[in-house]
Structure formats: structure tokens, C-alpha cells
A and B are shown apart, each in its own frame.
Chain A
Amino acid sequence: MSKLLVSPSPHVKSGNTTTKVMLDVIIALLPVVVASVFIFGFRRLLVIAVAIASSVLSEYFFELICKRKSTIKDLSAVVTGLILALNLPSTMPLWEVALGSIFAIVVVKMLFGGIGKNFANPALTGRIFLFISFSSAMSNFTSKYDIISSATKVDTLTGATPLEMPKEFLPSLTDMFLGKYNGCIGETCKLALLIGLVYLLVKKVITWHTPITFIGTVFVFSWILSLCGMDIDPVYQILSGGLFLGAIFMATDYVTSPQTAWGKVIFGIGAGIITVVIRQFASYPEGISFSILLMNILTPYINDWTRKMPFGGKKQ
């Protein structure tokens, strides 16, 4: 008889793996991809393909050069590329898309030690990098849903997102919900994003805490500001920009968000407040990426503050 294996307990595993978790995220994003391509055309698919390919390849080559074990089969690079692409306008030059992916993977993820070690969400930081480097390309949202007709088109409004539009040009709430307006690839169709959210919740990949408190805070805070006499519509605030995409897919990133339930709530509320502050009082029209990034930095502290006393534990 061959030798018996002696290993520590437990001798059974749930069978869950990082790859399966990442695959679930990809599946949850599929409705967004489909809706986006269906509404806006195939150029978007090209941007997504370039972003994913350059993410995976840069992780592969980085690990090859550094003589590390390849981790591309955990699919996390695919998720990074996909989420980054969904954060970009479809008109983005492809080389800029690739550069964003390489920055996200190499600088934000691999230089900090690879999967599980980065302090900021790679896709989101990649978006900020592109936003700062190529700000005109990042806000060029020409598409077949140019709401503002050519007759009234003013240069400064070309391809503006609803966040920057004067009130009379705003799309209807139904269009906002279904995604028939200008915006980044994955931001516009709220219906598809919500399907993704439900999928992730059912599969227990994420918990409700961050998405609900994030979106809820943006709504409540905007509503309070409107009561104070500011020109702000809470419903448009939650339906426009990258709020749903950010709250569902980026603020819930495991590595860069708190693990405790209260921590997730604080993360959501904090990100919500910062978003509204940036949208209303800063020079950028959109504040999702910055708000999540700032909360990413606070994550270790939030985790410490919200640590629960284990069952039966006594304070020292």
C-alpha cells in the first residue's frame, strides 16, 4: 500500500477559489457589457478587449520578468481590465486604453506585491491616471445618443454627461435608468448594473452594505442639499455618472475595502459624502473615483475602528 497522507484538518474544503470569485464578478458584469454594446455599438467591445488583453499581458510579463509564479489564471487581471474599460468612454484611443491597463496592473497592483497586496483599486486608479493624463479624451462622449441636437450645440457642451448639462437638456429618468445617454461604457445602463448586483448578492460574492449605503448616502445628502436651496436633484444624482458601477463593482473590491460589516457601512457613507462634495463644490463634474480612492486609503483604519470583540472576549 502506498504511503498515507498526513495533513492538518480540516480534510474537506468548500471548493471555492479566487478564480471562481473572479469569474462570478465577470459574469455579473456581462449584462453591463451586453447592454453597452447593444445600445452603443461594437467599438465598445474593442475597447473592452484591448483593456483586458493589456491587463493580462502586463501581469504575465511582469511576473515573467520578476521570476514570480504566474497568477493570471486567477482571472483578477481580467476583472481589472474589464472594470477599467467600463470606466472609459468608447471613443478613447486604443493605445491610451492599453496604457491605462498597464498602469493599473504594473504600478497599482504588481509593484505593491500583486493580488491581495495593493492598497488602492487598480482599475479605479487606472481611470484616474487616464483622467489626469488625457482629460479631453476621457470626456469625449460622442455617441448616437447625443442628446443635444446640432442646432443648439454649444462647443463647451459637446458630449457632456448629464452631470454637466443644463437642466433643459437632461435625458428622461427612464433613459437614465436604461442607459440611453452619454457616459462611460459601463456606467450608463443602471438596469444591467442592478442585475449584476443581484447576481453578486445571491452568489454571496459581496454583501449589501457598501453598495446600498453608498448610493443611499448620495441620495440623502443631495436631498438635504436641495432642501437647503441648492440646485440639485437627488434622483439624477444617483442615476448619473459612475455611481452604480463604482458602488457595486469598485467600492466592494475585497482587497481595498473593509471586511467588517460596520466598516463597509462607514466606507459607503464616506464615499457617498465625498462624491456629492466633489460633484457640487469641486471643479470636477464626477467624484466617484476620487471618493472611493480616498476611502481605500482609510480602509485599514476603518477596519481597526470597527473590529468587533470576538465571542466571549474580554477587554484588557
Chain B
Amino acid sequence: MLFSKVHGIHVKHNKFTANSSPERIPTPALIRVPTQMHIGAPAVPVVSVGNAVKIGTLIAKGMDGKLSSPIYSGICGIVKKIEEVKTSLGTTTYINIESNGENDIDESVVPPTITGKEDFIEAVRLSGIVGYGGAGFPTYAKFNVPDGKIDTIVVNGAECEPYITSDTQTMLLEADLVIEGLELVMKYINVPKAIIGIEKNKPQCINSIKNAIKNDNITIKPLPALYPQGGEKVLVYNTTGRIIAEGALPLNHGVIVINVTTLASIAKYIKTGMPIVEKCITVDGTSVANRKNVIAQIGTPVKYLFDYCGGFKTEPKQILYGGLMMGNAIPDMEAPVLKQTNAVLALSESEVKIPEITECIKCGTCYRTCPLGLMPFEISRAYKLNKPEELEKLKVNLCMECGCCSYVCPANKELVQQNKLAKGMLRTYQNSKKEVK
């Protein structure tokens, strides 16, 4: 069945930092770099305690033969400690590097020589670039497709999450790099066409990108300012009209989806050979004294970012990686900036309200709001009744966890959280069914 319109929510944009050009924060005394920032296998440390490293030195290589991504040092100094840290996502190895105050660049940082598709994909792999849309999918893996299979590249410039403006900065200040990166991808992966999706509430970004485009095989598609435009399925549908089928990836539909900042990073790496060691990050939230965009080394504990922004005007109650809709709350200020971090938000007590959860009144608002037309209230019921066969019919596996259902629920049910749990229940059920067969 064809969808006429993908639904969503009008959540307050809060793009206060849209005009704040990123400022580089002073080199932190210590960075803590986790070896698992991307989807796939963790990177394998190649340094040991006491090793001297420079900016751009490889500290952990991508696991051989697996989906993985290498990691480089963002500062010049000495490996102080390699430790196992328990996080909400499991145990991860952290490499701690202490700065020596210098800014020496590793000798290995030279622009890569690229002659063809293989070289290009290898270069993107070595750059350590992962998808900046949020999930951190290693970018090179998206390019491993047979020639001629992809006809369109969809570029994600939606930035639909409240507060975050780091992609906006890329589009305003590095529009040329975005287009350069896009043209490189189109050239080496052999894709004839590209569509850049940008929300209509960012006219200055649309203009900036428009001025940078030199070929007419690259077009801009203004998107409605409706969260979640940046969701992969929503974006592909709104730019190309294609519906990504259950269990399929965009490439099965001839599409590669790639974020604007990812493209700019590819262009920078091909030019300079400097891998991903730093990131533009929006520092905002009601508790932050001076909200702004900053450039920080990957692994920088978030407290340095807040310190640079003048500390807190009110005591923060919650610190988030990413936006209000899909961001993760972090337990302490020592948590580091990750490759795919695009914002850190410090929310004050007033912004962190945990409302009282009441009974579902079956108003159906979650169903009417869901961009994918799922029925969160039915999923929640089936999950509580432990009925995975019901969940299979309700297609909970399609849920992209955008959180619109939880946002609108008048009973304040944690619907998206229940969807995530229900997805797990369905996976277990489907795996056990496969085993029986």
C-alpha cells in the first residue's frame, strides 16, 4: 500500500546555536577513547601503556574480517591506561591518553593515493569515519556494493532533532567540502544522481548548499520541518518516494544514505589524510551558561566541553549525548565525546520532568503519530501479555525508535522503550522458531 504522507511531530526546534560558528576548545589534559563507538566489532588496541602517540596515530585498528572501524589519537602524549569500563551498552575497552601539551602530527598522516573504487573504500575505512546520523555505522561498509546497483545517493541534512546544529555548521561553513565529498562518492561508487534532503526551517543551509552545487545531477529536496525527517526510512521516502521494505537495506532499493558531515569528513580525509580525531559538537541545554558549537577531540570528557562553555548556570539534572528525542543519558561528566556524538546537552531540573504514568486510554494518538503507522498501544499490550506471535503481526521489528509515540502519549507511557523490549522478545521468538525448523 502506498503511503501518502509520513507522520511525525512538531517538537520545539530549540536551534539556539544555529549561528554559532564552532570554536576549538583547548586541548584537554586527558582523553578517554572507547574502542567501540561504531556498530560492529570493537577496534583492537595496537598501543600499550607508556607508548608515545601523536595527533593522528593509530591506537586501535579495525577488527580483521569484521565490520569494524579504526581509531586514532586526537592529542599528542602518552598512553596512560587501558581499562575495561562498564557502560549501559556493555563492557568496552577505553584507551586513556595524557596530553604533553604539544601538537605534533603523526608521520603516517599523508593524503591517500586513490586510483579506483577499492582504494577509495579502503581510504574511507582507514579514515575511521562512521555514520554521523547517530548509529555510527562504519561508512566504508555502505560503499561495498556491486557496480551499477546504486542509482541515487540520499544526503541527510535534515538535522531534525531539537537543539543540535552541528550539521547546520557543516552545511553553512563547509558546503564546498560536502559537495566535494559527495562528488567523490558518486565518482568512485559510480552513482549517477544525488538528492540532498534539508528541512525547510533551515533556509540558510539550503542556500549555502545550493551555491556549492556545480552539477545538475545533484539536487536539493526541502523537507517539511517535522521530526523525524532524518530517519532513514522517512528520508528515503521523502526524497525518492521509495519505501524501504521490511528486512531490506537502502542499498536493496538502489540508495545509499549518507550524512552531510560524513561527506565533508570524507573530503577532508582524501585531501589531508588526517583521520577522524575531532568533531563539531553542539553544547546546549537549559543548564549551560553559554550555549555554543565547539570542536573537540574524540575522547574528550564532556566536562571539558561544559567548562569551555562557561560551566552551568543551574545545576544539571541530566546530561545527554545527542538530541532530546533519541539521545542517551550519560551517568557522569567523565563520559567521552564519541565519533558520532553531535551534541551534548545539560538539562536542568525544570526540563527533566518525569511525568506520572497513567493508564492507556486508547486514544490512538501514538498510532496516528507514528511515522511508520505502527500501533504502539497494541504492541505494548502484546508485549505485556508475552505474545510474540502478536508482535510479529504488529511488525514491531520495523520500529526505528524515533520516540514520537512516547512524546505524544497523554498517559505518558514509555511506549518507545516498550517497543525496544518487544523487538527483543520478537527476535528471541523468531530465532527459536528458526532453530526448530
A5 to B328, CA, bound (A): 11
A116 CB contact (under 8 Å) in B237, B246, B352, B359: B359
Interface string of B328-354 (1 = CB under 8 A from A): 111111000000000000010001111
Cβ of B80 within 8 Å of any chain A Cβ, yes or no, is no
Q: Which residues of A contact B398 (CB under 8 A)?
A: 310-313
In whole Å, how far is B246's beta carbon from the nearest beta carbon of chain A? 5
A308 to B347, CA, bound (A): 38
**A114-B359 in contact (CB<8A):** yes
In whole Å, how far is A263's beta carbon from the nearest beta carbon of chain B? 9
A102 to B154, CA, bound (A): 60
A70 to B57, CA, bound (A): 62
A12 CB contact (under 8 Å) in B162, B363, B417: B162
B410-437 with Cβ < 8 A to chain A = 410-412, 414, 416-417
Q: Which residues of B contact A312 (CB under 8 A)?
A: 233, 243-246, 248, 372, 398
In whole Å, how far is A248's beta carbon from the nearest beta carbon of chain B? 16
**A5-B329 in contact (CB<8A):** yes
A103-123 with Cβ < 8 A to chain B = 114-117
Q: Which residues of B contact A117 (CB under 8 A)?
A: 359
B410 CB contact (under 8 Å) in A7, A11, A20: A20
**B361-A313 in contact (CB<8A):** no
Cβ of B371 within 8 Å of any chain A Cβ, yes or no, is yes
Cβ of A151 within 8 Å of any chain B Cβ, yes or no, is no
A71 to B360, CA, bound (A): 13
**A13-B406 in contact (CB<8A):** yes
CB-based nearest B residue for A309: B1
In whole Å, how far is A299's beta carbon from the nearest beta carbon of chain B? 9
**A9-B416 in contact (CB<8A):** yes
Interface of B is mostly: loop
A70 to B360, CA, bound (A): 15
Interface string of B290-333 (1 = CB under 8 A from A): 00000000000000000000000001111110001111111111
Q: Which residues of B contact A11 (CB under 8 A)?
A: 318, 320, 324-325, 327, 329, 347, 351-352
**B328-A74 in contact (CB<8A):** no
Q: Which residues of B contact A16 (CB under 8 A)?
A: 365, 408-410
A159 to B370, CA, bound (A): 50
Which of A83-91, A253-261, A287-295 lies on the face that meets chain B?
A253-261
A153-212 with Cβ < 8 A to chain B = none
In whole Å, how far is A102's beta carbon from the nearest beta carbon of chain B? 21
**A21-B359 in contact (CB<8A):** no
Q: Which residues of B contact A311 (CB under 8 A)?
A: 3, 6, 233, 237, 243, 371-373, 398
**A18-B330 in contact (CB<8A):** no
Known: A2-B315, A9-B326, A13-B412. A115 touches B331 (CB 8 A): no
CB-based nearest A residue for B402: A10
Cβ of A14 within 8 Å of any chain B Cβ, yes or no, is yes
**B318-A259 in contact (CB<8A):** no
A147 to B155, CA, bound (A): 71
**B364-A259 in contact (CB<8A):** yes
Q: Which residues of B contact A259 (CB under 8 A)?
A: 362-364, 367-368, 375, 377
CB-based nearest B residue for A316: B392
Known: A9-B327, A10-B325, A259-B377. A314 touches B361 (CB 8 A): no
In whole Å, how far is B368's beta carbon from the nearest beta carbon of chain A? 8
A-B pairs, top 4 by smallest CB distance, nearest first, are: A259-B364, A10-B403, A311-B372, A12-B324
Q: List 12 extra interface pairs beyond A12-B324, A13-B407, A311-B372, CB under 8 A.
A: A4-B329, A4-B333, A7-B352, A10-B406, A11-B327, A11-B352, A17-B358, A74-B358, A254-B362, A259-B377, A312-B244, A313-B246
Q: Which residues of A contact B (CB under 8 A)?
A: 1-2, 4-14, 16-18, 20-21, 71, 74, 76, 114-117, 254-255, 259-260, 307-314, 316
28 residue pairs A–B, Cβ–Cβ below 8 Å: A4-B319, A4-B329, A5-B354, A6-B331, A9-B325, A9-B328, A9-B401, A9-B403, A10-B324, A10-B325, A10-B326, A17-B355, A17-B411, A18-B358, A18-B410, A21-B361, A21-B363, A116-B411, A259-B362, A259-B364, A259-B367, A259-B375, A307-B375, A308-B1, A308-B373, A310-B373, A311-B237, A314-B247
